[in-house]
Structure 1
Amino acid sequence: MPEEGPFTTNTQRPRRLLTQNREMRRIGAWNWSIPAWAGRLPDGRPYNTCPSAGICREICYARHGTYTWPTVRAKHHANLMFVLDDPPGWEAAMVAELERRRFQDAWIRIHDSGDFFSDDYTKAWMRICRARPGINFYAYSKEVDRFRRLVEPDPPPNFLWVYSLGGAQDAALDPATDRIADIFPDENAITAAGWSSQEASDLLAVLGPRLVGIFANRIPAALRKLAGRRASNWQAEIDAERVARRPESHVNGT
């Protein structure tokens, strides 16, 4: 029986793990995708692939548009189920796929949706990077604590990352030392803040200046929620409101 679509006919595990859209093709990069943020798999299991998400979940491009199409959602669910149900098999399949000539000297964006949701999953990706030294890997992440513990002490030489603001761990980031990305309402706001835009190429997020400005996606509902603010500013407002709602005894530590 011939195979159909991106899945094998009997196990429903993806035959092709990495994809490439028009933007990635232009810069010689490929994507690895899992579902964004929280939901349920087809078998009913709940998941949260972005445990440190904050206000970003309200404006996330990966929860709109083509990402919601049934075939795309099914592919991302299949990818995540492969990771969860057979971690060694998924890791071996990824290393094997990356052996193909098309990936040599290419860039792999780990997660155009989703994040490094567990320690074991993060460690697996670091092993994959080391297993394929001729390939360049990069990622955005809000998992600051996880990266501080597992990645920063000894990162693979071929892996670059940028921390993105708008998450639950924003306070742990230092603009003076960390490579950081923030979402701005428009290009003028990026320039006015003295940050550098990655609009010309997504690779500028890890290859350009350390403070990275991202132009907000043209999603009407998301733009209304952003209301002209930077993602970091909106997150700071939410965090301050949360502190203000705490009982006085808790705030004072008594």
Structure 2
Amino acid sequence: MGDTAPRRRRPERLITQNSGLRRYGIFTFSLPAWAGRLPDGRTYNTCPAAGVCAAVCYARVGRYAFASVKAKHERNLMRILDDLPQWEQDVLSELAAPKYRGKFLRVHDAGDYFSDDYLSAWLRIARQVPDVTFYSYTKEVSRFRRLVQPDSPLNFLYVFSYGGKEDHLLDPDTDRVADVFPDEQAITTAGWHSNAASDLLAVLGPAPVGMRQNNIPHLKRVIGQRTFREWQASERARRSRGSDGVRR
């Protein structure tokens, strides 16, 4: 018998489903949240526009902190950093499967669009797979202003979420925005629209969009009764004052 070539190992699947979104038929792609160090020693920050949200990030606790989950998200990031064009082709290959037709893919239930090249890759993917709807929460306001808003694919939906360094660039009268509130009653009192019935309401329902705090006791104690918008605004004001209390 002649020699047989070794089988090429199939790349690890990039697109998955988490327990919270599976019930809605939503697929996900995730990165490690915020900042850290990869196993090979490289440091990263997948949420460069994160503000106060970084102190209470739900995607750094609970199941996201499980070793297997964190390692999976880190491998996703390493594939992007090591070979972005190959990663892009791998995503397209996965999305060619019939099960994704007419479905929704939430890009990042952890992480954000950390570079121009990375965001541009997702825009190219969306244009090549028009029968999948991609959606995201993002704090990368200026990056989206430059790269997305001038010519956004119709199947690439997004909502700007408060709690980031670029909150001051947002206008809730013209931008689609989301904020985190203490509870559902606070959302109603503010006249905002809850996404409690489905995560898709963040991009498909009426706006502005309210989300209740995650029910994680130690994070709730840090946030208190503030919305992320209020918290970030107070932090920005604090940082803009000198030690003598005079605004610079």
Report TM bin, short chain. Answer: over 0.9
Structure 1 counterpart of 2:184: 187
Structure 1 counterpart of 2:132: 135
Contact 1:14–1:75 at 8 Å: present in 2 too? Answer: no
| Inter-CA distance 155–249: structure 2 relative to 1 (3 Å threshold) | same
Deviation at 1:110, TM superposition (A): 0.4
Structure 2 counterpart of 1:76: 73
Structure 2 counterpart of 1:125: 122
State yes or no: 1:230 paired with 2:227.
yes
Structure 1's consecutive aligned runs of 4 or more residues displaced over 3 angstroms after TM superposition are 246-250
Task: Give the length in aligned residue pairs.
Answer: 242
Identical-pair percentage: 54
- Unaligned regions of 5+ residues in structure 1, if any? 1-8
Contact 2:240–2:247 at 8 Å: present in 1 too? Answer: no
Task: Tell me which of 90, 94, 97 is aligned to 1:93.
Answer: 90
Residue aligned with 1:112, SS = coil
Distance in 2 (alpha carbons) for counterparts of 1:14 and 1:190: 43
TM normalised by structure 2 equals 0.94
The residue type paired with residue 26 of structure 1 is R
Distance in 2 (alpha carbons) for counterparts of 1:81 and 1:152: 28
Contact 1:195–1:211 at 8 Å: present in 2 too? Answer: yes
Structure 1 counterpart of 2:144: 147
Deviation at 1:23, TM superposition (A): 2.5
Structure 1 counterpart of 2:212: 215
State yes or no: 1:110 paired with 2:137.
no
Contact 1:37–1:50 at 8 Å: present in 2 too? Answer: yes
Deviation at 1:14, TM superposition (A): 5.1
Task: Tell me which of 160, 175, 178 is aligned to 2:175.
Answer: 178
**Alignment of structure 1 residues 28-39 onto 2, 5 Å:** 28-39=25-36
Contact 2:101–2:132 at 8 Å: present in 1 too? Answer: yes
Contact 2:194–2:210 at 8 Å: present in 1 too? Answer: yes
Q: CA RMSD in A?
A: 1.9
Task: Tell me which of 162, 165, 168 is aligned to 1:165.
Answer: 162
Structure 1 counterpart of 2:64: 67
Residues 189-211 of structure 1: CA deviation (Å, up to 9, x unaligned): 00000000001100000001120
Residue aligned with 1:43, SS = coil
The residue type paired with residue 172 of structure 2 is P
Contact 1:14–1:78 at 8 Å: present in 2 too? Answer: no
- Unaligned regions of 5+ residues in structure 2, if any? 1-6
Residues 95-151 of structure 1: CA deviation (Å, up to 9, x unaligned): 110000111100000000000000000000000000101111000000000000000
